[in-house]
Amino acid sequence: MVVKVYKTAEEIGKAAAAMYAAQVIKKPDSVLGFATGSTPIPTYKSIIELYNEGVIDFSQVTTFNLDEYSGLDGTHDQSYRYFMMQNLFNHINVRKDAINIINGNSGDDEKACKEYEERINKAGGIDLQILGIGNNGHIAFNEPADYFPNETHTVKLTESTIEANKRFFNSADEVPKYALTMGIGSIMRARSIILIATGSAKAQAIYDSVKGNITPNCPASVLQLHNDVTFLVDEAAAAKL
């Protein structure tokens, strides 16, 4: 595990975007994993800049996203599909049919999860996956639990996550109560992983992930077992290290 500390969110975004550029230059038909949330936004801005400068060509890549809310259509402005289209995919030359986001509105979440995991495997696995981290140490929607879930599955969101995400909705009541998410195994099978975090609210989760015991009580702690993971964090998130 490599931990790099930066002064600003913009610097983290540039560093993460450079890792995507390196990956796609090395392997133009890379399978790229993306994440939603506030933290990756500067990364996506920098990726778009690199695309506009001709540094990255996404025409051959395949993408997978970590998770999606249950019960929201992809056109809902809080769905993760909508977020990805607005913040990244509409601005780069990724083929629309190469974008994979779990369908949270199929009416059969279990089937959607199973199909998604199969699609990741059929694509040959994920080459480079970016992760945010929850204040409680969650990665994707893998919340603290008493085991590490392996494959893509449905989850009931914790109060802490609903509380953290209500800022995007009119009220906590409107936040979906369930989500579909890649499992810890799905994430760990990615060949390279970047985890990004900014702000003091993430400091304990970063400490527990980097220095704590490996435990499903802090899902991100499992990353200590991965052989190619880079944490890009700001000083506030690194404060307890």
Q: Which residues are catalytic?
A: 67, 136, 138, 143
Tell me the window of 11-19, 34-42, 83-91, 177-185 that interacts with ligand PGA (CB under 6 A): 34-42
The smaller minimum CB distance to ligand PGA, of residues 100 and 158, is found at: 158
134 binds ligand PGA (CB under 6 A): yes
- Residue 43 in the binding site for ligand PGA (CB under 6 A): no
Task: Please state at what angle helix 9-26 crosses helix 41-52, rounded to 10 degrees.
Answer: 50
Closest residue (Cβ) to ligand PGA?
A: 37
Shortest Å distance, C-beta 167 to ligand PGA: 9
**Rounded CA gap, 61 and 136, in Å?**
32
Q: How far is the CB of 120 from ligand PGA (least distance, A)?
A: 19
Beta strand spans in 55-127 (E): 62-65, 67-69, 99-100
Beta strands at 229-234 and 192-197: parallel, antiparallel or unpaired: parallel
Least distance to ligand PGA from the beta carbon of 71, Å? 19
User: How distant, in Å, are the alpha carbons of 49, 153, 174, 191, 201 from that of 127?
Assistant: 22, 21, 35, 5, 29
Residue 67 CB, shortest distance to ligand PGA, in Å, is 9
One-letter amino acid of 80 = Y
In angstroms, rounded to a whole number, what is the distance separating the alpha carbons of residues 109 and 131? 22
Among 33, 37, 104, 219, binds ligand PGA (CB under 6 A): 37
Distance CA 226, CA 236 (A): 24
Dist CA 119 CA 164 (whole Å) = 30
Per-residue tokens: 25: 């230059």
Task: Give φ, ψ of 227 to 5 degrees.
Answer: -90, 0
Options 35-43, 45-53, 78-86, 218-226: segment touching ligand PGA (CB under 6 A):
35-43
Instruction: Figure out which of the listed residues 102, 113, 133, 175 binds ligand PGA, where binding follows CB under 6 A.
Output: 133
Contact 196, 39 (CB under 8 A): yes
Among 39, 103, 105, 152, binds ligand PGA (CB under 6 A): 39
From 45-53, 93-101, 111-119, 130-138, span contacting ligand PGA (CB under 6 A):
130-138
Q: Using the minimum distance from each CB to ligand PGA, give the nearer residue, 32 or 205.
A: 205
Residues forming contacts to ligand PGA in the complex (CB under 6 A) are 37-39, 132-134
